[in-house]
Structure formats: structure tokens, C-alpha cells
Amino acid sequence: MEDTIAGVSTAVGSAGLAVIRMSGEKSFEIADKVFKGKVPVRDQESHTLQYGRIVADDGEVVDEVLLTKMAAPKTYTREDVVEINCHSGFFVTGRILRLLYEKGVRPAEPGEFTKRAFINGRIDLSQAEAVMDLIQAKTGKSSRAAINQLEGKLSSELNEIITGLTNTLAHIEVDLDYPEYNHEELSIKQVEEEARRAMSRLENLLGSFHYGKILREGMDVVIAGKPNTGKSSLLNYLTRKNRAIVTDIPGTTRDVIEETVNIGGIPINLTDTAGVRETDDPVESIGVTRSLEALKQADLVILMLDASDWQTREDERLLELVKSSQAHFITVFNKIDLVKDPEKIDLLKRLYPDGVFISITEDKGLDVLEKRLIDYACGNKIDLDNQVLVTNARHERQLRMAYETLEAAREAIRSGMTLDIVALELRSALDHLGRITGQTAEEEIINAIFSRFCIGK
Ligand SMILES: Nc1nc2c(ncn2[C@@H]2O[C@H](COP(=O)(O)OP(=O)(O)OP(=O)(O)O)[C@@H](O)[C@H]2O)c(=O)[nH]1
Ligand SMILES: [Mg+2]
């Protein structure tokens, strides 16, 4: 039998209300030792709320609360659950928890409620991970992706692939165990076909990771350019804040500044960097080094040029640098308001057909830039309702390994290997897929995942 556990499920700090959650076989019995309401908790109807008081052993009223009783199995953990809505604050919640501990409850570990939901088979591992993604979702679209995963869209796609492969494996095993039936010709073809089918589904899932990862973690966009081109002005514009200092003195930004913004539902982690140039100033030169390092981490670089002064040696050097870093980049010409001759602008547009031309001071072209950012994340091409998204790097890794293993299985078939070798590869592919759903995940992995949760979840 599992212990009964309790923890505060709401955020720590001053707020109107807090929720203390308790789960386990003794939840109702223990609740009755501290809660005084109209009816004892054990007689209260399941999935209802009751008003009452938390009373200490000496009769002192600790808090007025609302208590929710939820009997197994239709609960978050599939165990008996009690939730106490109490007044928030360190003192009150602490007292109530201590009372519960005195009556035999154990403090919940981080993520332990969700872990129980997983162990008790209500959700699989990828769904449990989605709980945390949902809590940390940065935009509406991110939370949408997490909800889809939580509701089991990824799980059911994986389970279909797993079932197909498992059936095939069973088929092979029969052939191996009863060779007298000699189905070999037939099953080899089926095996090959099944592996191919699974691979094409895995390929689909893997292809969704670019966007899925961006939704979960945000897209890392670095604004780079020589000094004074308007990088910090762009950061301020996109964040709608006066986050970075803007002056007309080249070399204003010395450090790397990061802010996350929501552009069209895509979380974008923006980094403003120190303008890159050769400098004798020791502080600025550290800033330049950091800029170059930030470039290497970027999913996408906004290379910022001054439309009125863009052919400098510094610009060329930077362009080379960005190109050689192999990062994707958008060339942005700022300050087009300063270019009075329309022919000059036309020339620029011809030279840089993929460039984006903006003026931050006159608010021109910034909508085009935002659209380009969204397009790169491919936010508009993906239908969140119908596409199963892979958002988690751990899942992507296992999917890729499953894919490679299936490829090896097909290779084994093509080169005439015996069925037992093929079976080995199939089993290994199934192991990789099972690590995502949790069926074959090692205990350390499971523990590591739940330890990243907050207490009370
Ligand atoms: N005319 C004009 N000036 C602009 C525009 N955008 C920014 N500026 C001005 O350009 C100057 C430099 O802007 P910043 O945003 O500090 O430039 P930066 O690239 O961050 O500069 P460093 O931090 O020194 O590398 C400021 O005086 C801005 O007001 C624009 O579109 N048009
Ligand atoms: Mg700056």
C-alpha cells in the first residue's frame, strides 16, 4: 500500500486562497481528524464540496475552509483525494499541513501526485510530462500543444505504432518457435512492410519537432549587427517595454539582454547583443565576445544593418560570420526613413530580395518582420488540432533511435539476415518507443522527470 501524501498545490506566497491536496488510502480518515463540517468526510458524497473548519487537537480553529472529497478511481491520482481550499499564507497552510503530518500523512515529493497518476495507469509518461509543459507554457499555442499531449494525442499515435510492431514481432516469434510451419517468405515481406509503415509515421512525428520544440521552449532569436543599427530599439519595440538602453552612441549595449515575447502565439526568446566591432574598450570587447557566442546558440539570427550606411567593413565581416555559423538568418535593414532617395531603396531591395526593410522610429515594415519570424517557426502551416506534435527533446531522441533501429531491421532483411536478428532490432525499436510512454523507461529516467516538477503537482 502507498502512503497517504499531502502538499500545497498552489503557488507559495500571499494570495487569497491556497489548495492543499492529499492523496492515498487514508485521505478521508485523516481529513476527519482535522476537519469539522456538517457531515464527516467519510459520509460526504464523492466529488462534492463541503464547508467547515480545520480544528487543532486543543480545539483551536485554524482556518475556515472548503473541502472537496474525491473517491478513487475518478481522481487525479486514481487514489482517494481530498483537497482543502484554505486561506493562503505561509502560516495557515503550514499549520494545516503540520496537523495532517501529525495524523500520519507524509509530505509529497515534487511531482508525486502526477507520478501516482502515472504509476496507477491513468496517464503515461509523455502525458505526465505534458502536465509540466502546461504549467510552464509561454503562450496560448504552447499550452494548446501541451493539452493535446496531455489528452493523449501523442500517446495514441505511439500506441498504434507500438501495436503494429508488436504484432509483427509476435508473428516472427511464432515462426521462430514453430519453424515447421515455415511462413518465412510471407512474414519477411510483412515485416519489411510493417517496418516501412512505422518509419513513415515516425518520420511525420520527427518532422513536427522543429515547431513543437519552438512551442515548448521558445525560438531563440538573436539580434546582431554593428553598433548603433537599432538592435536595442527593436528589442524594445517587440517587447513593448523600455527594456534596453537606447542612445545614439555606438556601443551602448555591453551585455546580452534576453526577453521572451509572444508573437502570433509563438514564444520567442529574444536576445539583444552588443554591437559587433573591433574595440579597445575592455568592457565592450567582452560584450562583443558574448554576442558572437550568442550567435552560435541561435535558432534564428536577425542580422541588422543600417539602411543608410550598410556597406561598411564591419557589416561585411559580420555577414561572413553569420553565414559561416550556419545559423538561419534574416537580413533586416533598419532606418529606411533616413534614405531619402527611393532609388537607393529599390537598389537595396534588388540586391537583397529576401531582406526586410524597416524603420523602427516610423513603425514601418515591422509587421513584415513579425510575419517572417512566425513563418520561420512555421506557425501558420501547422494545424494544432490535427497534427500530433513532438515538443520534447527526450521524445525526439527516442523516436530518432527507433527510426534508426527500424532502418537497421530493414537493412537486415535486405541483406538476408535470419529472422532472429530482425526480431532483435524490432524489439529494440519497441524499447525506444516505450521509453516515451514509460512502458520501458528506466526508473532513474522516471525519477529524473518527476523531480523537475513542483511540489503539490
Ligand atoms: N532614424 C532612425 N533612427 C533609429 C531607428 N531605429 C533606431 N534609431 C536610433 O538609432 C540609435 C541607436 O539605436 P540602438 O537601438 O541603441 O542601437 P543598437 O544597435 O542597440 O546600438 P548598440 O547597442 O550600440 O550596438 C538611437 O538613437 C535610435 O533612436 C530608425 O528606424 N530610424
Ligand atoms: Mg544596443
Domain of residue 403, CATH code:
1.20.120.430
Residue 372 lies in a domain: yes
Q: Are residues 180 and 92 in the same domain?
A: no
Q: What are phi and psi of 385, to 5 degrees?
A: -80, -30
Q: Are residues 235 and 265 in the same domain?
A: yes
In a domain, 456, yes or no: no
How far is Cα 370 from Cα 215, in angstroms, rounded to an integer?
Answer: 16
Q: The pTM is what?
A: 0.83
- Asked whether residue 186 carries a pLDDT value surpassing 60, the answer given is no
287 lines ligand 1 (CB under 6 A): no
At residue 182, the pLDDT reads 60
Structurally, the chain folds into a number of domains equal to 3
Rounded to the nearest integer, the mean pLDDT of the chain is 91
The answer to whether residue 315 scores a pLDDT higher than 90 is no
Question: Which residue type occupies 66?
Answer: L
Query: pLDDT class for 223, splitting at 50, 70, 90?
Result: very high
Residues 343 and 280 in one domain: yes
DSSP 102-134: HTT-EEPPTTHHHHHHHHTTSS-HHHHHHHHHH
Q: Do 224 and 348 fall within a single domain?
A: yes
Q: Whole-angstrom distance between the N-terminal and C-terminal Cα of the chain?
A: 21
Rounded CA separation 325/393 (Å): 22
Do 59 and 200 share a domain, yes or no? no
Structural domain for 42, as ranges: 5-108
In this model, does residue 64 exceed pLDDT 80?
yes
Determine contact, residues 249/277, Cβ cutoff 8 Å: no
User: In the predicted model, what is the mean pLDDT of residues 31-43?
Assistant: 97
Asked if 108 and 68 touch (Cβ cutoff 8 Å), the reply is no
SS3 379: coil
Return the number of other C-beta atoms located less than 10 Å from residue 275's C-beta. Answer: 26
Q: Whose CA is nearest to atom 16 of ligand 1?
A: 246
Nearest-Å Rg of the Cα atoms of the chain is 29
Helix, strand, or coil (residue 54): strand
Question: Is residue 191 domain-shared with residue 103, that is, in the same domain?
Answer: no
CA of 348 to the centre of ligand 2 (A): 24
Check which CATH number belongs to the domain holding 255 and give it: 3.40.50.300
Atom of ligand 1 nearest to the CA of 253: 23
Report yes or no on 169 lying in a domain. Answer: yes
The minimum-distance atom of ligand 1 relative to the CA of 246 is 16
342 near 316, Cβ under 8 Å?
Answer: no
Residue 342 alpha carbon to ligand 2 centre in Å: 28
Is ligand 1 within 6 A of the CB of residue 307?
A: no
Residues 248, 354 within the same domain: yes
Residue 143 and residue 55 in one domain: no
Spatial separation of the C-alpha atoms in residues 381 and 370, rounded to whole Å: 15
Residue 369 and residue 425 in one domain: no
Q: State how far Cα 70 lies from the chain centre.
A: 30
Note the helical H segments in 415-442: 419-437
Identify whether the C-beta of residue 372 lies closer than 8 Å to the C-beta of residue 330.
yes
Range scoring the smallest mean pLDDT among 146-150, 381-385, 400-404:
381-385
Cell of residue 215, nine digits? 512551442
Residue 385, pLDDT > 90, answer no
Length of the chain counted residue by residue: 457
Residues 288 and 421 in one domain: no
Inform me whether the pLDDT recorded for 275 exceeds 80.
Answer: yes
Task: Name residue 48's beta-bridge partners.
Answer: 69
Lowest pLDDT segment from 10-14, 301-305, 354-358, 389-393? 10-14
Digit-coded pLDDT (tens) for 84-101: 999 887 789 999 999 999
Whether 161 and 195 have beta carbons less than 8 Å apart is answered as no
More confident residue, 183 or 72: 72
* One domain for residues 242 and 371: yes
Ligand 1 nearest-atom number relative to CA 226? 25
Q: Minimal CA–CA distance to 357: which of 376, 338, 374, 380?
A: 338
The domain boundary residue, chosen from 377, 397, 412: 377
Last residue of one domain, picked from the residues 78, 108, 138:
108
Give the Å distance between the CA of 247 and the centre of ligand 1.
Answer: 7
The answer to whether residue 145 is domain-embedded is yes
How buried is residue 358: exposed, middle or buried, by Cβ count under 10 Å (0-12/13-18/19+)? buried
Q: What is the DSSP pairing of strand 266-272 with strand 219-225?
A: parallel
Q: What is the maximal distance between C-alpha atoms in the chain?
A: 87
pLDDT score of 383 more than 80: no
Under 8 Å between Cβ of 127 and 159: no
The type of residue at 423 is: A
**Residue whose CA is at the smallest distance from ligand 1 atom 21:** 228
Position with higher pLDDT, 251 vs 222: 222
The grid coordinates listed for 204 are 511525420
Q: Is residue 32 pLDDT above 70, yes or no?
A: yes
CA 115 – CA 101 distance, rounded (Å): 20
Q: Which of 61, 78, 108 is the last residue before a domain boundary?
A: 108
